[in-house]
Amino acid sequence: MVIGGDAGGMGAAARARRLDPDLEIVALEKGEWTSYSACGIPYLVSGVVTGGLEALVARSPQVHRTKYRIDVRLRHEVTGIDLDMRRVEVRNHEHGRTLHLSFDELLIGTGARPLRPDVEGIDLPFVHGVQTLDDAGRLIAHARAADCRRVVVVGGGYIGIEMAEAFTERGAEVTLVEGGAQLMRTLDPDMARRVEAAVQRFGIELRTSTPVTGFADGEVHTDSGPIRADLVILGLGVTPNSELAADAGIETGAKGAVSVTPRQRTSAEGVWAAGDCCESFHLVSRRRLHVALGTVANRQARVAGTNLGGGSATFNGVVGTAITKLCGTEVSRTGLTEHECEAAGLDAVAATITSSTRAGYYPGAEEIAVKAVAERRTGRLLGMQIVGGAPGAGKRIDAVAVALHAGFTAEELNDADLAYAPPFGPVWDPVAVAARAVAKAAVAPS
Amino acid sequence: MVIGGDAGGMGAAARARRLDPDLEIVALEKGEWTSYSACGIPYLVSGVVTGGLEALVARSPQVHRTKYRIDVRLRHEVTGIDLDMRRVEVRNHEHGRTLHLSFDELLIGTGARPLRPDVEGIDLPFVHGVQTLDDAGRLIAHARAADCRRVVVVGGGYIGIEMAEAFTERGAEVTLVEGGAQLMRTLDPDMARRVEAAVQRFGIELRTSTPVTGFADGEVHTDSGPIRADLVILGLGVTPNSELAADAGIETGAKGAVSVTPRQRTSAEGVWAAGDCCESFHLVSRRRLHVALGTVANRQARVAGTNLGGGSATFNGVVGTAITKLCGTEVSRTGLTEHECEAAGLDAVAATITSSTRAGYYPGAEEIAVKAVAERRTGRLLGMQIVGGAPGAGKRIDAVAVALHAGFTAEELNDADLAYAPPFGPVWDPVAVAARAVAKAAVAPS
């Protein structure tokens, strides 16, 4: 029995089917869609991706039914898990009926939902969160039907910025409102500054340190006065949909996400979880955290599905890698920021360098800034952040992610045999230069 | 005393100066230039890079003299090294005089030169090798003065293909002649096939398995008849300029390159070497080899310069990383090919996958082929090759290079937390997919 039709749920279901042709698999999805790329929603809104909502669907319910022989039931919302009776309570929205379905093994893949601040007007119809394809459908319908000239995005994380960019590309006047002092809290402030500059160059009005106090028809209220808005997008981050699990007595942890073992098993025998609803383990900070990213969801689902299908697999953890392209600028990070190191009690040093994405003399070279973080004295690499021009800046982070998995010192990363040719960078790769700078800083007298 | 004005020599000289302000440093260069990017020459020929030969110069002789206080002497060719007398014999081409200069420590950075087959007509003036900036100057002058409508490139390595592309972009009809059965012998034949297709799509006439037997005015003679040519470029690879060292009794090794310790010291006390003239150590095959690449030259120079300047550094070795952009296609490799594994006596398995450089639904997605090689049974990662569309295919190799430095299994690379967003790839990175495929192949019954 699988709860949830996206990456966490269906990824595990499909994987289990591959390993065991005899399993009986039922998947319950409260919405209309399965196995889609929520990461693509901003590009659908902007018009960069064409072909409608279907363009983002990797595997439709029909494909799951015929190719994977999974009994996918749409508009079936699970409202309760009874661990003693080994059954779930399900609301069939199609026929308005409630039913009970038994399971031997259960996979919870309920995902996450946008955070909605508890302020006046939050439930007005012009306020949209964007997480599921159903959300995206409603948003795009609203944007088409109404004359959305003025759009306010609340929250300056990567989803907020992506949506602000998307509506700017559609021709709207967009204001991005962030309660904190910086955009992209996944970066240190000095690196976030570069993203803010790119956002402003793109024509988005940016208001940081501006908490939203409420919504009224056509207006967003803030500390520093109202902003007119035909449409509001919430980009305040997400919270795991773990209430079903918690209500059944299953253990939860970081940010309320479902706790899992490396095999993706929950605290309950025969109950598994994968995707945005559950915790991950951070291999650098050695702490549990909640990560809501497609890559992690797919990996967890593969592990859970392997174990459900009779195989054996573990998900060892993440190193905190993320990437996005915002307003023509590539932004990536892995490991811990300087700020996160403090929070984790690590004695860290940092160094930032600027370089270029191609040899200086090669046309199209763009500036790239790389901030490296390492442990004082030992020189152990702790993380890196990259902000630079497209193409060629962001994906350099993968080499750093592998170095973190390997437990490299910054010096060892600097010594790595990275690829060079003039169309791809200077002879000393920016990542190596940053690693060298932080290696030096780590042993400098403090 | 430094012999050679490019990366190996001047990189070491500048590094030594940084560490020791009191060293007396003399650098002897037989040509006219110092510290330039030979890798940029094809882009100068094609017109992609503008600004003349100077555009490729990173540090001019004047900069070395004033900023680094290095006594750079141009048109000074070293003709002998006397280890007992601790002096070099130098031909000053400026004044036509021979002189002797004493040294305490010597750095050999004599580079490499294009291989010239011993066939009739090889010394005709329309046959050009391209290695130094002086070579490039002569070639461009020739191409401008004569009506170079028909260009023949002999040798299908990356320099040959880059030059064939450059002359095609200048509007010439280019024939690329390769004696062996495939282009790019640094790739396995199946991956080379993809490069060959790109070369042909670009409009270059390709003749493989066509050994050149000689040159006559306006013609290249081959096994299968003559080819008309106004200009010939040799791209048959390079051979280290190690005769000076060998004649002085200094030990040489792979392909005749100068043997060095990890500190870049030669077999002679107080004599060091760096760059294209000397050997490297391959961390995957555990063998010595000759690598003539700018990255390696710069790394070796930094190590040699550190040791010359009173510091302590070692160059642990390479993993065989290389990248190039050819006819719109990105080509990279690291570790060992299947073929190289055989030669190294490793029991290897391989797997090739195709994927795309962006999410399938995101515009501009290009095909990328990735071939992964691993050790049978143990699953130890041995190498990877990438051929794919620009941008975004080639530099993925860096993550693999770091994994090789770390001694990862293919499975461990597959488990790495690589960055994903729709503009950068599918949710499962092509490199991870290839790693997973070869991990499976490694444990399959043979």
Which portions of chain A are predicted below pLDDT 50?
A: none
Token pair for B424? 């950068």
Token pair belonging to B363: 């515009």
Residue A272: closest CA among A103, A102, A155: A103
Peptide bond into B391 cis (omega under 30): yes
Q: Per residue in B71-125, pLDDT tens?
A: 999 999 999 999 999 999 999 999 999 999 999 999 999 999 999 999 999 999 9
| CA B379 from centroid of its chain's CA atoms | 29
pLDDT value of residue A332? 98
CA distance A179 to chain B (A): 26
Asked if B421 lies within 8 A of A323 by C-beta distance, the reply is yes
The whole-angstrom separation of Cα B100 and Cα B103 is 10
B148 assigned to active site: no
Rounded alpha-carbon distances, angstroms, from residue B168 to B199, B218, B330: 11, 18, 18
Give A438: exposed, middle or buried? Use CB within 10 Å, 0-12, 13-18, 19+. buried
Instruction: Count other C-beta atoms under 10 Å from residue A363's C-beta.
Output: 11
For B189, half-sphere exposure in the C-beta direction (CA atoms, 13 angstrom radius) is 5
Q: What is the pLDDT of residue B144?
A: 87
ipTM of the complex: 0.97
Residue B284 has pLDDT above 80, yes or no: yes
Judged by CB atoms within 8 Å, which residues 338-397 of A form the interface with B? 359, 361-363, 390-392, 394-397
Distance CA A333, CA A24 (A): 41
CA atoms within 13 A on the CB side of A270: 13
Measured from the Cβ of residue A230, the count of other Cβ atoms closer than 10 Å reads 17
Which residues lie across from A211 on neighbouring strands? none
Question: Structure tokens of B131?
Answer: 């290695």
Mean pLDDT of chain B: 97
Give the per-residue pLDDT at B55.
96
Asked if the model's pLDDT at residue B446 lies above 90, the reply is no
Tell whether A157 lies on the interface with B, counting CB pairs under 8 A.
Answer: no
Q: Which letter does DSSP use for residue A357 in this model?
A: S
Residue B192: pLDDT band with limits 50, 70, 90: very high
DSSP B353: E
User: What does the pLDDT read at residue A147?
Assistant: 79
Residues B404 and B372 sit within 8 Å (Cβ to Cβ): no
Q: How far is A407 from chain B (nearest CA, A)?
A: 9
- Local structure of A49: helix, strand or coil: coil
Which one-letter amino acid corresponds to residue A138?
R
Q: Tell me what pLDDT residue A310 has.
A: 97
**CB within 8 Å: B325 and A423:** yes
| pLDDT tens-digit map of A94-104 | 999 999 999 99
Q: Which residues of A touch B294 (CB under 8 A)?
A: 420, 427
**Cα separation values, B260 from B205, B283, B339, Å:** 41, 15, 27
Nearest residue, CB atoms, B422 vs list A40, A398, A417: A40
Is B427 part of the contact surface with chain A (CB cutoff 8 Å)? yes
pLDDT of amino acid B147 = 79
Structural contact between residues B415 and B335, judged by C-beta atoms closer than 8 angstroms: no
Residues A177/A152, Cβ–Cβ less than 8 Å = yes
Chain A, 6 to 45: residues with Cβ < 8 Å from chain B are 7, 37, 39-40, 43
**Whether B312 contacts chain A with CB within 8 A:** no
Left if phi > 0, otherwise alpha if psi is -120 to 50, otherwise beta: which for B356?
Answer: beta
Enter the tokens of residue B314.
């070692």
